Amino acid sequence: MKRLHEDVQGLYRISEFSIAMAEQAIEVAERYRLRAYDCLQLAAALLLQEQRASFELASLVLVSSDAESNVAARSERLNIEDPVG
Domain residue spans of the chain: 2-81
φ, ψ of residue 56 in degrees (nearest 5)? 55, 40
What pLDDT does 2 receive? 85
- The C-alpha atoms of residue 46 and residue 24 are separated, in whole angstroms, by 8
Instruction: Calculate mean pLDDT across residues 35-59.
Output: 95
Q: Under DSSP, is residue 79 helix (H, G, I), strand (E, B) or coil? A: strand
Q: Which residues contact 15 (CB under 8 A, 6 or more apart)?
A: 21, 44, 47, 48
Quick one: pLDDT band at residue 7, thresholds 50, 70, 90? confident
User: CA-CA distance, 60 to 49, in Å (whole number)?
Assistant: 6
